[in-house]
């Protein structure tokens, strides 16, 4: 038996063993019987608009997906006497499609979505397709060239590989596999697997979800599909896929919820970040089968994705900064938080195909806080996109801009993070729409300290969002030493010392300009995604923000967030927060643990800072520094956010060190140096 025949049979078997269901518009699961019941004699479905050409939710695409569901059911072992009826329906619907040959205005549907589904249908149906229809189906695959980069290239090459299997064309199969596996490499370019294990698509844009998840879904099955044949995936590429999954994607997933930062424009599609994570289940299984050394970690991630264990119980705890994608992840067993920034090197979450219409400020320091994973689930139609948590921006009544290019980068170079793997700090110079600020986040255990300084605006009012999430339970605030519970719909402004909601405590170190509200907010999916219904949506929302007033000139903020607290615990924490703010101005922002054993500093210019016990910490280059006291002195973790410098000098007290900084694709990565004394 030839290798292509072996692979063809394996693929047909794996496709048949997949659940014979499809996801409907309302997130329900439709069985083959339900799909077949709506099939008309002419091979059409009444609810499919075959004249539709729109770019995103292209209606005719449902037709092929439904054929695939019917074909899967026909080939399953328990189909029995039902197989002929199922096969007849699949053939009838396939003939209609081939006669019509519908086209979308989006190249993706024509060159990727349609050919992939067509190829899988033909593999499943095998000899049960009329020869003429089989030839016409293969022609749809043949008109697609291999091009593009990253996941798009992997998809297009997969189309060619399916054609090779269907026509038993070994040279084409080898060419297609070379192209598919050619994307399984670490690159220093804009798209693909990055040196920090993040994934980029559509330019230097973080897309661990959607395109990154699809990349795994597309490529990982080849690890088992090709095993034992002359086309087998090399071990180093199996390791590369596994490391992207474990050191990148796993860190950006909480249970079955992918971080909203990593799904790009699809944040404005209902339940998309959870649906995306489910596409990773099969890749975990495929890679575990061929990766003995990583099997345990891959299966633990698999269990988290399928809800078989608690979100934090997968052996991933600590802090990671992804210097290629301007995102910091900080997590422990009971919580997850991430900070997404944007620099001149990276693209904010895009606006494309009518999706992501309010994504303008994603990448401006948005900070998400997850414990249950439900905190923001479905909030996007009603959210105030100018009060996203962590964002400092101008306030205005007009809609946020929809950019003609769909993709825009940050405006500054100084954006980065330093991490020792346990804790870390992130910082950015912010500049957008006439607003400038210096912003830093200090991750210390189960606390996050957030500082802003030098906030300026040409005239518009400016706010900093602290939190905006679904209201889940009572809201308690502390004012003047007293704790009080907010009534439904109530807003409290000014004089806030702390707030508590749903297991999180919020400490306002200067609460004069802070406002807290628990009230209903309204909107529609159509406002953020032009492909979705305009029906009004209402949700109860907890909001906390800081007003800086109109035309601020050097304004500042300081607040902290703590996980795993009840209201009484939040009040106790407010009285003894366990950290000290050492500085918060335009030159330097710094935080130290209460005992001074951990010090984190963002230097926006060269200089020094007294960090306690009469010790001065000084640097000769703007940078981020994290110090941890050791038995013999200090260990320092240093990162240079502009990614331009190759060295810097650092001293604490009498101890000095010359730090060689990473370069090339690792520029911006944290470097460690130990100092005696």
Task: Let me know whether 608 and 490 are in one domain.
Answer: yes
Task: Let me know whether 432 and 515 are in one domain.
Answer: yes
Range of the domain at 307: 187-316
The answer as to whether 395 is a domain residue is yes
Closest CA to 140 of 87, 169, 103: 103
Q: Coil, strand or helix: which one is 132?
A: helix
Cα-based distances in Å from 121 to 28, 98, 183, 445, 530: 22, 13, 25, 51, 31
Task: Let me know whether 639 and 499 are in one domain.
Answer: yes
Query: Is-contact 195 186, C-beta < 8 A?
Result: yes
Q: How large a percentage of the chain has pLDDT more than 70? A: 98
pLDDT score recorded for residue 336: 98
The answer as to whether 164 is a domain residue is yes
Task: Let me know whether 297 and 353 are in one domain.
Answer: no
The answer as to whether 356 is a domain residue is yes
pLDDT score recorded for residue 273: 67
Domains in the chain, number: 3
Rounded CA separation 550/534 (Å): 34
Residue numbers in the chain where pLDDT is lower than 70: 19-29, 273, 404, 677
Phi, psi torsion values for 570, nearest 5 degrees: -65, -40
Last residue of a domain, which of 316, 339, 361? 316
Please name every residue paired with 347 in a beta bridge, in sequence order, or none if there are none: 205, 409
The answer as to whether 321 is a domain residue is no
Task: Let me know whether 385 and 310 are in one domain.
Answer: no
Last residue of a domain, which of 269, 292, 316? 316
Q: Mean pLDDT score of the chain, rounded to an integer?
A: 94
CATH of the domain at 120: 1.50.10.100
pLDDT score recorded for residue 21: 46
pLDDT score recorded for residue 497: 95
Give Cβ neighbours of residue 595 (< 8 Å, ≥ 6 apart): none
Rounded CA separation 662/644 (Å): 10
Task: Let me know whether 211 and 248 are in one domain.
Answer: yes
């Amino acid at each position: 038996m030839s290798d292509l025949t072996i692979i063809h049979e394996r693929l047909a078997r794996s496709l048949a063993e997949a659940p014979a269901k499809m996801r409907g518009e309302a997130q329900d699961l439709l069985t083959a019987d339900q799909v077949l019941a709506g099939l008309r004699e002419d091979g059409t479905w009444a609810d499919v608009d075959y004249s539709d050409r729109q770019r995103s939710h292209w209606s005719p695409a449902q037709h092929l997906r439904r054929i695939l569901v019917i074909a899967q059911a026909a080939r399953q072992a328990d189909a029995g006497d039902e197989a002929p009826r199922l096969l007849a329906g699949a053939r009838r619907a396939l003939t209609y499609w081939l006669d019509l040959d519908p086209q979308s205005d989006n190249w993706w549907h024509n060159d990727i979505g349609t050919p992939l589904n067509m190829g899988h249908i033909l593999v499943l149906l095998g000899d049960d397709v009329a020869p003429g229809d089989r030839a016409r189906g293969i022609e749809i695959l043949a008109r697609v060239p291999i091009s593009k980069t990253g996941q798009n290239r992997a998809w297009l090459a997969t189309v060619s590989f399916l054609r090779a299997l269907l026509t038993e064309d070994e040279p084409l199969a080898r060419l297609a596999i070379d192209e598919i596996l050619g994307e399984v490499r670490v690159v220093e370019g804009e798209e693909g697997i990055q040196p920090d294990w993040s994934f980029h698509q559509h330019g230097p844009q973080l897309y661990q979800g959607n395109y990154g998840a699809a990349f795994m879904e597309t490529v990982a099955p080849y690890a088992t599909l090709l095993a034992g044949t002359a086309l087998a995936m090399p071990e180093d590429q199996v390791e590369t896929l596994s490391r992207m999954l474990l050191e990148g994607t796993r860190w950006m997933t909480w249970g079955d919820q992918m971080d909203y930062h990593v799904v790009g424009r699809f944040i404005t599609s209902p339940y998309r970040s959870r649906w995306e994570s489910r596409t990773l289940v099969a890749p975990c299984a495929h890679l575990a089968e061929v990766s003995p050394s990583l099997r345990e970690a891959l299966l633990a991630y698999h269990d988290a994705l399928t809800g078989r264990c608690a979100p934090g119980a997968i052996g991933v705890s600590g802090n990671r900064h992804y210097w290629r994608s301007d995102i910091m992840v900080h997590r422990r067993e009971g919580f997850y938080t991430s900070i997404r920034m944007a620099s001149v090197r990276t693209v904010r979450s895009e606006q494309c195909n009518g999706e992501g219409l309010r994504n303008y400020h994603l990448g401006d320091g948005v900070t998400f806080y997850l414990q249950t994973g439900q905190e923001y689930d479905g909030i996007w139609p009603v959210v105030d996109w100018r009060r996203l948590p962590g964002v400092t921006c101008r306030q205005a009544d007009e809609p946020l801009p929809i950019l003609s290019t769909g993709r825009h980068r940050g405006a500054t170079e100084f954006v980065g993070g330093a991490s020792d793997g346990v804790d870390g700090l992130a910082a950015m110079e912010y500049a957008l729409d006439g607003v400038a600020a210096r912003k830093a986040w200090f991750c210390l255990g189960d606390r996050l300290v957030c500082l802003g300084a030098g906030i300026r605006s040409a005239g518009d009012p400016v706010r900093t969002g602290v939190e905006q999430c679904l209201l889940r339970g009572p809201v308690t605030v502390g004012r003047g030493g007293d704790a009080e519970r907010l009534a439904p719909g109530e807003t409290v402004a000014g004089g806030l010392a702390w707030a508590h909601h749903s297991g999180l405590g919020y400490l306002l170190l200067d609460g004069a300009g802070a406002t807290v509200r628990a009230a209903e907010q309204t909107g529609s999916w159509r406002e953020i995604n032009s492909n979705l219904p305009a029906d009004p949506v209402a949700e109860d929302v907890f909001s906390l923000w800081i007003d800086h007033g109109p035309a601020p000139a050097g304004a500042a903020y300081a607040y902290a967030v703590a996980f795993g607290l009840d209201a009484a615990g939040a009040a106790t924490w407010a009285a003894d927060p366990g950290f000290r703010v050492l500085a918060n101005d335009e030159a330097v922002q710094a935080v130290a643990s209460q005992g001074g054993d951990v010090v984190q500093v963002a230097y926006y210019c060269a200089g020094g800072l007294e960090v306690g016990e009469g010790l001065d910490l000084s640097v000769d280059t703007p940078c981020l520094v994290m110090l941890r006291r050791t038995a013999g002195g200090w260990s320092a973790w240093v990162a240079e956010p502009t990614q331009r410098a190759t060295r810097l000098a650092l001293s604490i007290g009498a101890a000095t060190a010359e730090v060689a900084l990473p370069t090339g694709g690792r520029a911006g990565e944290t470097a460690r140096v130990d100092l005696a004394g």
